[in-house]
Each structure stands twice: as C-alpha cells, then as structure tokens.
Amino acid sequence: MSLDWIYYAISWILLAWHGAWDAIGVPDAAVIGTNWAWILAIVFLVVTVRVILFPVFVKQIKSQRAMQALQPQVKALQEKHKGDRETLQKEMMELYRKEKANPLMGCLPMVLQIPVFLGLFHVLRRLDPGKSESGKTLYGWTVGQFESASAAKLFTAPIAGKFGSTADELAALNANGTTVKVIAGILVLLMMGTTYLTSRQMILKTGWAEDPQQRMIQKLMLYGIPLSLLISGAIFPIGVIIYWVINNLSTLAQQQWVLRKFPPPPSATSKPGTSPRSPVQPAKTGGLLGRAKPAPQAPAKPAAPKVAGPKPGAKPVNPKKGRPAKRQG
C-alpha cells in the first residue's frame, strides 16, 4: 500500500504553515542560528494534528473512566477464576463487551499519530540539496521551498540532520557534526523525558489498572517507550524530534485540562497492588513527579477523665450505703 497520500498531506500542512508565517513577516533567514518560519511550521503541524485528534483524546479519557468503573468487577473475576487464566480472559472480554469498554483505547491517540510521524520522517529525510529538480518537487514542493527547508536550522543544526548522520550527509547539509550531535542529543533527552511525563501524569491521576493486560500496557507506555527512544532517537531528523517534543508538551497541557474538567473517580489506585481508596478519601493531587501535600490529620478525641484512687489510709466507701433497704416479705 502506497503512503504517498500521507506524504502529500504532511507536506501540504507544513508548507501552508510556512507560507502563513512568511506572509506574517517571520524572516525566512536565520535569526540566532534558527530559521523560525520552518520551526514554527513544525510546531503548528502539531497544533493541527492535535485539533483533529481532540475528539479521539476525549474518547480515550471516557474509555479509561469506564475501565476504572469496572475495576471492582474485574477484581471479583480475578478472585473467582484464580489459577484459570483462560476462563478469566474470556470472562473479562465478555465484561468489556457488555459494558462497551475497550482496554486498548488508551493507545489509540498514539497509534493514530504514527502515520503523521512516519510522513514527517520521510519528508524531512529527503531534504538533500544535491537532489535533482524532479526529486525536489515531489509531494507538492517547489524547488525554492525545498532548498529553503534544506537550509533550515535550529541553532545552526539542520532540521534534516540527525545524531547518527554520516560524514557525507553532514557535508551535503553543510553542517558541523559536533553541533548536530549536541542539539540532537539534547532533543532526544527532552523527547524521552516528556514522553515519560505524559504517561506518568495520566497514571498519577487515574491510577494503576487491576486488569493485568491493561497494567502491562501502562508499564509499557511509562517505561518501555521512553527507553526505546534512547536508541531510535539517533535515526530521527532534528525536525521530527522537535515535532515529538512539542506534541508531548501539548499532550501534557491537554491532559491537565481534561483531567481537571473530568476528574477521575476517587477509587483509583495509586500503585499496582494497593487497595482502592475509600469513596470519601480525596484523590491524590500531586504534580507530575508525584509530590503531594500531607493530608491534615483528624483531631484526636479527648481522653476520658481519670478517676482518682482512694488515698492511703482513707476509710473505704461502702457502695451499698445510702441504698433503700429491701422490704421484708
């Protein structure tokens, strides 16, 4: 299946935003070693994609709420079918189908952004000033736009360069290898950090899932994906990493807004294996790093007054004294 339609779509959005910033008056020449019209075009490519995918993001939040509401039933099934994994999976799938909950919905926004990422990766990887004129005009580009993008830089590092660029690729882009590695390395670390924080923010607010399959997905998104970027980030063009970092920052802001507007139920757990909170206990309100103010302690009940014992040498009190005498029958 040809992916040309993706390359045309990404190119059209990128060129449209670059043309808009150029029309506004953002200089196409480098300022502080950066061609801001092209950097802003990448930033607003992110904005465009986020606006398009916003309804999907809301569905993701609603699906996670439905999964949380089902946690007591899931836990009951786990206790009922302990040791029978096959029956447990069948029962849980039936429960999800009946309640119209999808445990894989949490990955849907990321999955839908994969074509955008691949399209931008392909488009920026092609930015080679040495290409023929026919190669420069693919996907709706003009020769002038192609040459302008090929020369575009972020702090003197070409947006088409990458940490693993060869000497020939750097020479074609007229780039300094050390500068490209430093800028790309910093961006890769930012990409890893913001990817981790987006997953952690969601888990802090919604809690760890009781369903083993859902919890495995959470752990993969929290730890697996950021670690994989340490290696794969070496082949990403700088422009693609800029897209990823800006996309993560917009995700953090969007998640914060949605989670404030639609707060998770107070029964969400904070860590795997912990028991759910009491319905009257407020949910944890820590930041991205999980820090929270200590909850105010309830005032202690006043102790009962102590009864003083008899003084040494005092005459014992007869408890029967003063009671009315019983009548003789």
Burial of 24 (0-12, 13-18, 19+ CB in 10 A): exposed
> Does residue 10 form part of some domain?
yes
30-40 b/e (C-beta count within 10 Å ≥ 16 → b): eeeebbbbbbb
pLDDT of 292 > 70? The answer is no
Q: Encode pLDDT of 87-129 as tens digits.
A: 888 888 888 888 777 776 767 777 888 899 999 999 999 998 8
Q: Is the pLDDT of residue 272 over 70?
A: no
Is residue 102 in some structural domain?
A: yes
Residue 234: CB partners within 8 Å, gap ≥ 6?
A: 162, 163, 164, 184, 188
C-alpha triplet 103, 109, 114: angle, nearest 5°: 120
Residue 280: pLDDT over 70: no
Q: Is the pLDDT of residue 308 over 90?
A: no
What's the pLDDT score for residue 269? 42
Residues 120-177 have pLDDT tens digits of 999 999 998 888 888 899 999 999 999 999 999 999 999 999 999 999 999 999 999 9
Rg from Cα positions in the chain: 31
pLDDT of residue 92: 85
Structure token digits, residue 288: 């991205």
Confidence of residue 32 (pLDDT cuts 50, 70, 90): very high
pLDDT at residue 306 in the model = 54
Q: Higher-confidence residue: 291 or 26?
A: 26
Residues 135/120, Cβ–Cβ less than 8 Å = no
Structural domain count, the chain: 1
Q: Are 136 and 143 in contact (CB under 8 A)?
A: yes
State which residues form the domain around 218.
3-261
Q: Give pLDDT tens digits for 40-52.
A: 999 999 999 989 9
Residue 318: pLDDT over 60: no
Distances 262 to 24, 68, 145, 256 between C-alpha atoms, Å: 38, 13, 44, 10
pTM, entire model:
0.72
Contact assessment for residue 266 and residue 281, using Cβ atoms and an 8 Å cutoff: yes
Please indicate, yes or no, if residue 288 is contained in any of the structural domains: no
Q: What is the pLDDT of residue 273?
A: 45
Ramachandran class of 165: left when φ > 0, alpha when ψ lies in -120 to 50, beta otherwise:
beta
- For residue 216, pLDDT over 50 is answered with yes
Tell me the CA distances in angstroms from 283 to 17, 21, 244, 252, one per residue in order: 42, 44, 30, 19
Residue 83 lies in a domain: yes
CA angle 31, 46, 66 (to 5 degrees): 150
| Spatial CB neighbours of 110, under 8 Å, sequence gap ≥ 6 | 221
- Segment of 64-73, 178-187, 215-224, 304-313 carrying the highest mean pLDDT: 178-187
Residue 270 lies in a domain: no
